[in-house]
Structure 1
Amino acid sequence: MIKNVFIPNFFKFYNILWKAALPFLKRHPRLAPTFDRRINPAHLQPADIWIQAASAGEAYLAVSTINAFNTDRPVTIMVTTTTGQGMEILTKTLSPKKISPQINLCIGTFPFDSPKAMKKAVQQINPAIMVLLETELWPAHLYALKKNHTRVLIINGRLSKKSSRNYKLTKAFWGSFAPERILAISAEDAQKFSMIFPQTRVETMDNIKFDRMTVQSTADKRSALAEIVPREMPLSIFASFRRQEETQIIEMIKILLKKGPNQIIALFPRHMHRISPFLKALNKNSLTVYKGSQISSVLTNPAIILWDKFGDLHQAYSRADVVFVGGSLVPLGGQNFMEPAVLGVPTIIGPHWQDFAWVGKEIFETGAVTQCRNWQHTAETMSRYLVKSENRQTRIDAVNHYISQKQGGAQTAADTIWASWLATHK
């Protein structure tokens, strides 16, 4: 039980903060529809195992983990999420046909971390096991779980450099709510967790995200971009780049056009609100650019396209001859470079990809992904792939082999959760 005398005083202050914040949160357009359920978790049902999947990414992890359960006795699992997107994924993707018939599944909204709401939620669910996917540490939640004698597991755990630094600064506080076990997605993440929770059993596991990866060998005919790019013309894609990279992207475009003027260049900014300012910057550099929404027929000449329609990037990858994935030229953590890589498309990233370190450096040995030193090196590498590229199927086979070796995280997670639950019923 928690003995730190600071804890009760902290929660008195924490409760005051929540009382002050709730009236503002009630008016928030994203929170308003589920506000009542967040402050009064009466909809939550008793369960043996409680899994919290914060948003969309964690919701997919929860789906993979629950599908991997193979139980030999009845068990009730409550899955909660914080966002509307997470709820949509859970309700639409968790199919009774894929879940063990022994599992009674409940889905709910994760409450606000106000001490009153969280205490009621934990008492109502009364779980033997609490599963936190990736990392979501809420003090009132963890405090209520400790008082309830619930075993807490962090599965698929990861910590960014910033989060790790902040947690270490408050190490004494978080140590009072230490989880029983942590399965981290890399040795580096495991070390970070061990520094915050030195008494906790910390191990590594394969990232569950690998279980969701599939390698495709054929182009997606639904691609809106493919419909306007002539088959005989090379296509270079700049994907998910950020505001801080725009100046470098413009210089890279100039290099690509100089080395290969007979090509289509498609630009997909990470954030749609950057379309207009980036278009102005391109025009100032004497680059003629068309918005994707302005093109209604197949292009007959080389062109630069600034894609201004949401949700088309993944489909566009399958038509590309080379892809640069942004967030990686400057220290922004990178973006998901595995999406084009699994399609066999030569994929280029810059030196910064910390948020995807879980993929592993060995991915570069497959030849499907190339890490470059800077924007100049990146532009030269893209140009080289346009001139000469290995067979796409060779890259697909290499990535497929790489992913298959990394899969199994969902089964590890399910087995660990199940073993922990059985340990409470000896």
Structure 2
Amino acid sequence: MLRQIYCALWWLIAPIAVLRLLWRSRRERGYARHIGERFGFGYAPDLSESGAPLLWVHAVSVGETRAAQPLIEALLTAHPEARVLLTHMTPAGRAMGEALLGTRVLRCYLPYDMPFAVRRFLARYRPVLGVVMETEVWPTLIDECRQADVPLALVNARMSERSYRRAAKFGPAAHKVFGGLARVFAQSEADAKRLSALGARQVTVLGNLKFDMTTPAVLVARGQAWRLAFGTRPVWVAASTRTGEEALILDAFKRSGLADEAVLILVPRHPQRFNEVAALLAREGWRFARRSALNASAANGTDSAQPPLFESNMQVWLGDSMGELGAYYAAAEVAFIGGSLLPFGGQNLIEACAAGVPVLIGAYTFNFEQVSADAIAAGAARRVADSAELGAALRTLLTDRSLCTTMSTAAVAFAALHRGATRRTVEALRLLLRDSN
């Protein structure tokens, strides 16, 4: 009965979903493109007669796409005879996939979870293996893959306590959904236990793929050039901030007493909010500049003879660009990871740790529970309860060079310790592919 209700709801929701895409396209034009793909139409090319096996990886948006990159690179190396299809749900994720992998992979949107759309998708591409990242559990997709004999693996899987409690309310229906996955490769033992309790079969802990992400050398060099251009002023970054957090972060900056001495690089998570955050900065009277206004050739240059890139009295640099988070970390001495001061569940702190940047996180990290706890235990991160504590911690780290260096060393060691999930996952997928043939 629940399955019929779920499918019926999708028929009701689908027109609203299209209207929402068009609404969102006012700020981000990509939402108005490829709408047919979301219903199983307009896919290209037709690979049915190519003879090359197709490996399909689904990564919802930017974060999952960046986490999937090392895995896809490894799959391309391990299976040179195959093609890889990368699917997304957001234009930002699709753009990131194109930037990272170019023409080496095919790409399209994953259709909405409606039987006819999923069937058309599977019939068009005929994947020999499906890989969905982290939390992407779609009942119809799982069922249709099972019926089409497409082994579907949930990779880099995580399941927070909050999400587990919600899913457990569906009882046997949840067990049927999670039990339809061919394999589950979890990030941690805690994730594995929750997923198994929900009915997932053959759950294995392989670690977190995000530890294997590397920042391209060009981004590191760009960030280092920016750091030199900032001069002697301390620099900190507030990364992946969400709605309502920027005001709290700016308040913390004021509380730190460093608003006229240091520079804040403020990087909203979603590009459609760049103008909104710029308006907030202007309204509150902050002296700020936008990354998008910086001449590209000057920003990427390292010639010490070039004119100064930034005004000496600038307080905030708004990071209104995509795909440059690694450069922002390379330019900073401390990082606050957004999505955690308000109950959004946090964002990935691993990239900052790998860059050797001490990390501050808020109270709400339930989407990244294990890695946050591990980073704190390793001395790579500190938790703050509110903007007042953030301001105090910020002042401590930016004025205590010894402490900042200690945390930086711990962050690098923490990131290095947990690498290797990509290699383990590729081998596990190879075995799954072998067993399914």
In structure 2, the partner of 1:13 is 8
For the structure 1 residues 219 and 81, does the alpha-carbon distance in structure 2 shift closer, same or farther, using more than 3 Å as the test?
closer
Cα deviation digits, residues 176-223 of structure 1 (max 9, x gap) = 33212211112222222122225x12222211111114599x974557
Q: Supply the distance in 2 between the matched residues of 1:12 and 1:387 (Cα, whole angstroms).
A: 57
Classify the secondary structure of the residue corresponding to 1:150.
coil
393, 405, 411: which one pairs with 2:417? 405
Q: 1:387 aligns with which of 373, 385, 399?
A: 399
SS of match in other structure, 1:67: helix
* TM alignment of 1:135-174, pairs within 5 A: 135-174=135-174
In structure 1, what is the equivalent of residue 289 of structure 2? 292
Q: Which has the larger radius of gyration?
A: 1
State the alpha-carbon separation in 1 of the partners of residues 225 and 78 from structure 2.
Answer: 44
Distance 1:136 1:306, change over 3 A: same
Task: Tell me which residue corresponds to 2:193.
Answer: 191
Matched, 1:49 2:55: yes
Tell whether 2:320 aligns with 1:310: yes
Q: CA deviation at 1:268?
A: 1.6
Q: 1:326 to 1:45 in 2, by over 3 A?
A: same
CA–CA separation in structure 1 for the residues paired with 2:248 and 2:405: 31
The counterpart of 1:86, out of the listed 74, 86, 93, is: 93
1:64 matched to 2:62? The reply is no
- Of 305-314 and 186-195, more deviation after overlay is shown by 305-314
Segments of 5+ residues of structure 1 without an aligned counterpart are: 100-104, 284-288
Rounded Cα–Cα distance in structure 1 between residues aligned with 2:315 and 2:38: 44
Alpha carbons 2:381, 2:407 under 8 Å: kept = no
3-state SS of 2:207 partner: coil
Query: With structure 2 as the length reference, what TM-score do the two structures score?
Result: 0.75
Distance 1:349 1:92 in 2: 29
What's 1:204 paired with?
Answer: 205
Q: How does 1:345-364 map to 2 (within 5 A)?
A: 345-364=357-376
Where has structure 1 moved over 6 Å in runs of 4 or more? 298-301
* Larger helix proportion of the pair: 2
Q: Which residue of the other structure, out of 264, 274, 277, is the alignment partner of 2:277?
A: 274
Choose which of 152, 167, 180 in structure 1 pairs with 2:182.
Answer: 180
Q: Pick closer, same or farther for the CA change 1:349–1:16 going to 2, 3 Å.
A: closer
Matched residue of 1:206: which SS? coil
Provide the secondary structure at the position in 1 that maps to 2:34: helix
Give 5+ residue unaligned stretches, structure 2.
295-306
CA distance in 1, matches of 2:17, 2:79: 43
Q: Which moved more, 1:391-400 or 1:44-53?
A: 391-400
Measure the CA separation in 2 of the matches of 1:276 and 1:73.
49
Per-residue deviation, residues 314-368 of structure 1 (Å, max 9, x unmatched): 5444444444444333433234444444343433333333333353533235544
Q: Residue 380 of structure 1: SS of its match in structure 2? A: helix
Say how many residue pairs are matched.
Answer: 401
Shift of residue 6, structure 1, vs aligned partner: 5.5
Cα distance in 2 between the residues matched to 1:154 and 1:407 = 19
Give the TM-score normalised by structure 1.
0.77
For residues 17 and 260 of structure 2, the distance between their equivalents in structure 1, rounded to whole angstroms, comes to 57
Q: Percent identity?
A: 20
